[in-house]
Amino acid sequence: MDNFKVPYPYKGQHHCEVVVLFCMDHRYARLVQDFIYKRFDVDRFDPIAVAGGAKTVNDSEDLVDRCFGVSRNLHEVKTIVIVNHSDCGAYGGRKKFATVSEEDDFHYQELNKAKAIMCQKFSDKEIIAVFARLNEEETELEFIEI
């Protein structure tokens, strides 16, 4: 196997403005990254990719403390973003819901619950919850801040 080298542009830079918790689903990862770069006008952020996004906050306090603690303490982030998306397998996928509206409402509830938990734990940070909503035709993704 050949070695692979790239320039490293972050010498001496440990700070970043934003940490993002989002689902590891490959269908959404690049799109979420593009949204974060544009919405927050940043060239880097701390990514935390796990199954289910907000589900992790709601189900695993220990993981939240470990992951976000590093970003808060070492990288001095100012904003925490939690992203859920349509058709998330960690929640049973789109097929679990009778309608798209039912699925949307479920994710809004999950995101609001996670946001409340994060506001309690990290009261000195801006907490933003986002739903990446896939339209019914599955041709367009809309990022909705909750």
Tell me the per-residue pLDDT of 45-60, one tens digit each, with 9 for 90 and over.
999 999 999 999 999 8
pLDDT for 16: 92
Q: Is residue 14 very low, low, confident or very high in pLDDT (cuts 50, 70, 90)?
A: confident
Cβ atoms of 42 and 16 within 8 Å: the answer is yes
Report yes or no on 103 lying in a domain.
yes
58: in domain = yes
Kindly state whether residue 5 falls inside one of the protein's structural domains.
no
pLDDT given at position 66: 83
Taking only the tens place, the pLDDT of each residue in 60-112 is 878 878 888 888 888 989 999 999 999 999 999 999 999 999 999 999 999 99
Whether 67 contacts 21, CB under 8 Å: yes
DSSP for 32-87, written as a single string = HHHHHHHHHT-S--EEEEETTTHHHHHH-HHHHHHHHHHHHHHS--SEEEEEEETT
In 3D space, the residue among 20, 94, 84 whose CA is nearest the CA of residue 52 turns out to be 84
Position 134 scores a pLDDT of 95
Tell me whether residue 85 is in a domain. yes
Residue 131 lies in domain: 18-145
- State the greatest distance between any 2 C-alpha atoms of the chain, in Å, as a whole number: 51
Q: Is 0.85 surpassed by the pTM of this model?
A: yes
Q: Which DSSP string do the residues of 89-125 spell out, in sequence order?
A: GGGT-GGGSSSHHHHHHHHHHHHHHHHHHHHHH-TTS
CATH code: domain of residue 123? 3.40.1050.10
Number of domains in the chain: 1
Q: Is residue 6 part of a domain?
A: no
Q: Is residue 134 part of a domain?
A: yes
- Does residue 79 sit within a domain? yes
> pLDDT for 104-134, tens place per residue?
999 999 999 999 999 999 999 999 999 999 9
* Residue 46 maps to a domain: yes
Q: How far apart are CA 132 and CA 145, in angstroms?
A: 9
